[in-house]
Amino acid sequence: MDHVVTCIAPVNIAVIKYWGKKNEELVLPLNDSLSLTLDCEQMHAKTSVIAGPFFENDMVWLNGEIMSVDGNTRLQKCFQLVRDLIKKKKGVNCAEAKWKIRVCSENNFPTAAGLASSAAGYACLIYTLATAFQLTDEDLPSIARQGSGSACRSLNGGFVHWRADVDKCESDSTVVQIASDTHWPEMIVLILVVNDSKKKTSSTIGMKQSVNTSELLKYRVNECVPKRTAQIIQAIKDKHFSKFAEITMRDSNQFHAICLDTYPPCIYLNHISHEIISFIHDYNEAVGQIKVAYTFDAGPNAFVFLEKENLSSFLSELIHVFPPNHFDTYLRGISSIQINSRIMFNFTPKEKGLLKYIMVTKLGNGPKCINSHLLNQDGIPY
Ligand code: PMV
């Protein structure tokens, strides 16, 4: 490889949540999940890779700091699987499989905010390595999954379905695109970043505890998710927002009910998350239709879906109810939004600063290669 390869990869937000593995080793999910891939323009992981016979060891820099590759089993597994794939495609004695790899990666959004950064990060790592070694696409989800289960969904744009049923060898599960980002261009995503400093149980540990202790999880996996997945796929195909929104909110609520049913419980939502949930239900009630939906992952931040035509009126009510400490940096992301400052309803404002900021974004079309690199030709970060 005579040059650095750099790619960016998006965050994805699940509307049917993945929670629980049936095979820890292979990272096979207990249930189907379905996500929306966000636009890389506002949020992405960016990764540069160079490899060659002249490097003595694998080295990885993440967000400006060098990482210990030896101490990171997920990273090692990803490298190993990429090398196995190189051998499979190019022959067992192929020199490239022995080359050492230099990786430098960073996110253009705060990692600590719990915004699905590992999904974007691992999807980006695998996509960039695959591009650098000219490997084909069909094998990538199973490698990305080893870094973070949900990373396999960030390899596609638009609406993505990670299926729980396995192949004949019981070693793989498939990821399929239901519709591209251009299918529903009116869809807007807001991320309400909640002021919170409490450290939460990681999703890996949380889902393991749920599998071991939650009785509700079995009901969810067998009875609820199969029906919901079929219904939400239809709602997406029909662009039926209120159906899509109701299933999304019900699935988020059920996922957090499973977390509470886990023993000891995993508590990811805080009082601000609950205020957001109430506000969105009140808003939908006030407008007389489900115009806005929320979903929460393993943290207190809200991911909110709505159609463009409702953005301005919803944002003015949201900012009225959740006033910022500083207005200048409160709204981030898509810069062209006009807020109609007319307040239509009688919601009572809460104290200032419950939200750190609001990111406004839309759907996107998946990872891509770019020309601005994080590493020089010698494999050293700029
Ligand atoms: O990909 P992981 O192992 O970080 O798990 C993701 C779990 C959720 O974000 C809560 C749900 C999902 O499907 O993304």
Q: What is the block-wise mean pLDDT of the chain (382 residues), using blocks of 10 residues? A: 92 98 93 98 96 95 91 93 93 94 91 74 97 88 94 97 79 89 98 84 94 98 98 98 98 98 96 98 98 96 96 95 92 82 89 95 97 96 94
- Looking at residue 128, its amino acid is T
Residues 262 and 339 in one domain: yes
Ligand 1 centroid–CA 382 distance in Å is 32
Q: Which atom of ligand 1 is nearest to the CA of 27?
A: 3
Distance CA 41, CA 68 (A): 30
- Whether 30 and 176 map to the same domain: the answer is yes
In a domain, 279, yes or no: yes
Ligand 1 is surrounded, with C-beta below 6 A, by 14, 17-18, 33, 118-119, 148-150, 203-204, 297-298
Check whether residue 129 and residue 276 sit in a common domain.
no
Same domain, 257 and 174: no
Structure tokens at 295: 């979903």
Do 200 and 164 have their domain in common? no
Whether 371 is covered by a domain: the verdict is no
Packing angle, helices 271-287 and 311-321, rounded to 10? 130
Asked if residue 210 and residue 177 are part of one domain, the reply reads no
Q: Are 270 and 200 in contact (CB under 8 A)?
A: no
Is the whole model's pTM more than 0.85, yes or no? yes
Q: Tell me the CATH number at 270.
A: 3.30.70.890
170 and 282 assigned to the same domain: no
- Give the residue whose CA is nearest to atom 8 of ligand 1: 297
Could you identify the atom of ligand 1 that is nearest to the CA of residue 150? 1
Ligand 1 mean position to 18 CA, how many Å? 6
How much is the CA Rg of the chain, to the nearest whole Å?
Answer: 21
Report if residue 381 sits inside a domain.
no
Task: Quote the pLDDT of residue 374.
Answer: 98
- The separation between the first and the last C-alpha atoms of the chain, rounded to the nearest angstrom, is 19
Does residue 376 fall inside a structural domain? Answer: no
Give tens-digit pLDDT for 198-249: 778 899 999 999 999 999 999 999 999 999 999 999 999 999 999 999 999 9
- Cα gap 129→100, rounded to integer Å: 12
DSSP 8-state secondary structure symbol assigned to residue 111: G
Determine how many CB atoms are found less than 10 A away from the CB of residue 26. Answer: 15
Last residue of a domain, one of 156, 181, 206: 181
Q: Is 294 exposed, middle or buried (0-12, 13-18, 19+ CB in 10 A)?
A: buried
Q: Is residue 301 part of a domain?
A: yes
Query: Which atom of ligand 1 lies closest to the CA of 149?
Result: 1
Are residues 15 and 139 part of one domain? yes
Token readout for 178 is: 């239901």
Q: Which one of 13, 17, 118, 126 would you pick to mutate in the ligand 1 pocket, going by the greatest count of ligand atoms within 8 A of its CB?
A: 17
Task: Output the CA 274–ligand 1 centroid distance in Å.
Answer: 20
Ligand 1 center–CA 235 separation, angstroms: 22
Tens of pLDDT, residues 91-142: 999 999 999 999 999 999 876 556 767 899 999 999 999 999 999 777 899 9
Rounded to the nearest angstrom, the distance between the alpha carbon of 33 and the centre of ligand 1 is: 9
Do 119 and 255 have their domain in common? Answer: no
How far is the centre of ligand 1, averaged over its atoms, from the C-alpha of 284 (Å)?
27
Residue 372 is assigned to a structural domain of this protein:
no
The C-alpha atoms of residue 229 and residue 175 are separated, in whole angstroms, by 14
Output DSSP code: residue 276: H
Q: How far is the CA of 376 from the centre of ligand 1 (A)?
A: 33
Show the domain range for 75: 5-181
Total domains present in the chain:
2
Torsion angle of C-alpha atoms 219, 141, 143, 43, degrees rounded to 10: -100
Kindly state whether residues 244 and 352 are assigned to the same domain. yes
Q: C-alpha 289: how far from its chain's center?
A: 28
207 shares a domain with 339: yes
Looking at the domain assignment, is residue 205 inside a domain? yes
Ligand 1 atom nearest the C-alpha of 297 is 10
Query: Is 373 within the bounds of a domain?
Result: no
Last residue of a domain, one of 127, 156, 181: 181
292 and 168 in a common domain: no
